[in-house]
Amino acid sequence: MIRVGIVGSNFGRAVQLPAFRSDPRCAVVALAGRDPAKTAQSARDAGIPRAMAWADLVADPGIDAVAIAVPPQLQPQVAIAALRAGKAVFVEKPLAATLDDAEAVRAQAQASGRPLVIDFEFPELPAFRRARALLEDGALGAPRHIAATWHVENQATRLRLKSWKTDGAQGGGVLGNFVSHCLHYLEWLGGPIRDLSAQLFGLPEDDRPQRAASARSVALSGTFASGAAFSLTMSCASYLGSGHRIECYGEDGTLTLTNTTADYIRGFVLHHARRPAAALAALDTPDPDDRPENDGRVAPVARLVRRFLDAIEGGPPPTPGLAEALRVQALIAAALRSHHAGAASITVDA
């Protein structure tokens, strides 16, 4: 039995806990949080045997793997300590608030040799899987471009909350909280990004709306190594926004992934057409693992958990893992450099 400790009592309890409990090979035996009293109550309510400080949890020889759900600014410290203690590590995105901190995690992971998985959820959805299979099978012909739009109003913006989710300096903001997902799935669908330009925008009422750390919207574009183009516009300040849409265009066909619901994960519909069709046709992509009583994120995270546990038991290195975590961190850093350089095009190292 693989013994798991969770650091973080919000997302960790709401999503990571049921995802790990979906696999009989492991048991969640400990929970760590900022407030000892609240963490103890959360552990009791969830049926987790122990509540403790995170430093004690990662050092505990009775724990084999650590799942981390803390703000990106804090995550490297916890991950490095867990890896140093010989634990396998499951981390949230983005890996860190800065590329240097992400590199420090990589150094420790390589030194320890323990598995690391990062929680990029969209490619775990059946609609996304089917879309990539179509692309790999040449269903669109030679790729031309991918256009992604994601316009929503998140709770932090609506309620004017101050937290890591609204602060790019802490690894959140529009880039860390949302665009990190997009950068990962853009490369997952279209291949390596060769270059990009980015411009970030705050709210008009902000004292410094041009400040990247407080941005609520971003416009990003560039090219893949294949020569195909991409564009992305994302805003988390869009009341009754159009939702999330990804359009993939090729010489001979088109596919779209569209989610107009308020649920970031559930609701994606896949459409496809190939010449000489006159209209897109919907493709059925049910999720056999999704249970309506669960948070929609549990099913995709559970798939990542299965690969994480496979790796702990001696299976292949899990994906998305260290390489994908560092790659997205490098793309975020490139987007910030571009913004500060006046939306200049930045070449991204392969």
Residue 185 corresponds to which amino acid? Answer: Y
* Residue with tokens 């990589």, as numbered in its chain: 106
Report which of 99, 340, 347 is spatially closest to residue 198, judged by C-alpha positions: 340
Q: How far is CA 81 from the centre of its chain?
A: 22
With beta carbons less than 8 A apart as the criterion, state whether 270 and 127 touch.
yes
Q: How far apart are CA 77 and CA 43, in angstroms?
A: 23
The pLDDT of residue 52 = 95
Q: What does the pLDDT look like over 131-164, one tens digit per residue? A: 999 999 999 999 999 999 999 998 888 888 787 8
Q: How confident is the model at residue 92 (pLDDT cuts 50, 70, 90)?
A: very high
Q: How confident is the model at residue 181 (pLDDT cuts 50, 70, 90)?
A: very high
H/E element holding 327?
helix 322-340
Position 66 pLDDT exceeds 90: yes
Task: Give domain limits for the chain.
Answer: 2-121+299-319, 122-288+328-347
With beta carbons less than 8 A apart as the criterion, state whether 121 and 308 touch.
no
The pLDDT of residue 163 = 79
Mean pLDDT of the chain: 95
**CATH code for the part of the protein at 2-121+299-319:** 3.40.50.720
Q: What does the pLDDT look like over 110-121, one tens digit per residue? A: 999 999 999 999
The pLDDT of residue 238 = 94
DSSP state of 84: H
With beta carbons less than 8 A apart as the criterion, state whether 168 and 174 touch.
yes
By CB atoms closer than 10 A (0-12, 13-18, 19+), residue 237 is buried
Higher pLDDT, 73 or 170: 73
Higher pLDDT, 139 or 294: 139
Q: How far apart are CA 45 and CA 33, in angstroms?
A: 14
Q: How far apart are CA 254 and CA 143, in angstroms?
A: 10
Q: What does the pLDDT look like over 187-231, one tens digit per residue? A: 999 999 999 999 999 888 776 655 677 889 999 999 999 999 999
With beta carbons less than 8 A apart as the criterion, state whether 241 and 261 touch.
no
**Cα 140 to Cα 143, 224, 229, 241, 248, distances in angstroms:** 7, 16, 15, 29, 8
The pLDDT of residue 345 = 95
With beta carbons less than 8 A apart as the criterion, state whether 211 and 166 touch.
no
**Cα 125 to Cα 50, 130, 257, distances in angstroms:** 33, 9, 11
The pLDDT of residue 208 = 60
Share of the chain above pLDDT 90, in %: 87
With beta carbons less than 8 A apart as the criterion, state whether 53 and 36 touch.
yes
Residue 244 corresponds to which amino acid? Answer: H
> Does CATH number 3.30.70.1340 belong to domain 122-288+328-347?
no
Report which of 16, 3, 14, 1 is spatially closest to residue 301, judged by C-alpha positions: 16
As a whole number, mean pLDDT of residues 254-265 equals 96
The pLDDT of residue 84 = 98
Query: How far is the first Cα of the chain from the last one, in angstroms, to the nearest whole number?
Result: 39
As a whole number, mean pLDDT of residues 230-236 equals 97
Residue 204 corresponds to which amino acid? Answer: P
Share of the chain above pLDDT 70, in %: 99
Position 168 pLDDT exceeds 90: no
